[in-house]
Structure 1
Amino acid sequence: MIYLLYFLITLITFLLMEVATWLTHKYVMHGFLWVLHEDHHQPKYQNVFEKNDAFFVIGAIPSITLFYFGVHPEFNYKFFIGLGVLFYGIAYFLVHDVIIHQRFKWFSRTKNKYLVGLRKAHKVHHKHLGKEDGECFGMLNVPAKYFNI
């Protein structure tokens, strides 16, 4: 029974991370930390890394902290919240950097309707080179209209 609870904590955390990502992307990345996100909206990558990649580190801090407090002084639910955050971070890397932006050419020819829809929504997001007038701030959950091929 406890394993089911731990699984649910991890799953719910993963799902809530999409909400946190949308809010962070709209109000933080396109807000007061635009200075870190701006290079991501430029037409071509100038370097292997962008200032925007700092958000991976920023996003890892809560997960690492939750892992620590989830095993110290004794094993507890915080570990599984950290695990949900970590799993979302891995999904974010695979979807955003690998599938959408193709920084690695692992899935460059996919015809999967869901993945193609994610790419379309993200292209709409990137058509705005400034921080204003943005749309499609989510990563895994984007409006249904982008899945109509």
Structure 2
Amino acid sequence: MFLTNTLIVLATVAGMEAFAWLAHKYVMHGWGWGWHASHHAPRSGWFEANDLYALVFAALAIVLIALGTSGRWPLQWIGAGMTLYGALYFVAHDGLVHQRWPWRWVPRSGYLKRLYQAHRLHHAVHGREGCVSFGFLWAPSPTRLRAQLQAAQAQRRAQPRQAPPQRPPQADTRGR
């Protein structure tokens, strides 16, 4: 049973990365931009509206753990996997990449450097359109991400700019 529960936790961590990628790209950079925009702007203070996403996912994990410990196996292990993913996210994303902790360290090699660079390239675009690298713990090659950014920029430059819509002339209503 221990091995099964451990595999459920690890599978949930992997599944959360896939879920987080989708949620980041299509929710946070889509209809949920209202909260996530704070993450792409300079932060003032300890918290940003984007932190509300962590609260939502933490609440869901707590509910799953509570349901699981009241007899609905394997929900507690899924909740534990979500909690582990949240802890890894907190360390890697908030701590390492965005340096929301008092200590500062920039990795110089290996996986953590790749993760750091990929997320920095995600923030290279101002706004919600045209971003790359939506994962939090899995990072594509920075070389590939730079090429994607350059291709997107070239495509935007090649598109003709649209003039703002012209307002129709107003009728004179001054009583002449």
Q: Common fold, TM-score beyond 0.5? A: yes
Alignment of 1:46 with 2:49, yes or no, is: no
Aligned length: 144
State the TM-score, normalizing by the size of structure 2: 0.77
Query: What's the counterpart of residue 117 of structure 1?
Result: 114
State the TM-score, normalizing by the size of structure 1: 0.90
CA distance in 2, matches of 1:36, 1:138: 18
Deviations 1:91-115 (A, max 9, x none): 0000000000111144514334211
CA distance in 2, matches of 1:109, 1:23: 27
Aligned AA for 2:87? I
CA distance in 2, matches of 1:146, 1:115: 15
Alignment of 1:94 with 2:99, yes or no, is: no
Q: Which moved more, 1:135-144 or 1:20-29?
A: 135-144
CA distance in 1, matches of 2:31, 2:2: 40
RMSD: 1.6
Task: Give the C-alpha shift of residue 37 in structure 1.
Answer: 0.5
Higher relative contact order (CA 8 A, sep 6+): 1
CA distance in 1, matches of 2:2, 2:11: 14
CA distance in 1, matches of 2:52, 2:116: 22
Alignment of 1:137 with 2:138, yes or no, is: no
Query: What's the counterpart of residue 66 of structure 2?
Result: 68
Aligned AA for 2:95? V
Deviations 1:53-79 (A, max 9, x none): 11110111220111011011x262111
Query: What's the counterpart of residue 15 of structure 2?
Result: 16
CA distance in 2, matches of 1:76, 1:136: 34
Question: Are the equivalent residues in 1 in contact too, given 2:64–2:78 (CA < 8 A)?
Answer: yes
Structure 2 residue runs of 5 or longer lacking an equivalent are 145-176
Q: Which has the higher helix share?
A: 1
Question: Are the equivalent residues in 2 in contact too, given 1:121–1:146 (CA < 8 A)?
Answer: no
> What is the identity percentage for the equivalent residue pairs of Structure 1 and Structure 2?
38
Query: What's the counterpart of residue 6 of structure 1?
Result: 5
Aligned AA for 2:31? F
CA distance in 1, matches of 2:143, 2:60: 32
CA distance in 1, matches of 2:110, 2:49: 31
Question: Are the equivalent residues in 2 in contact too, given 1:29–1:36 (CA < 8 A)?
Answer: yes
Larger radius of gyration: 2
CA distance in 1, matches of 2:135, 2:143: 13
Alignment of 1:79 with 2:76, yes or no, is: yes
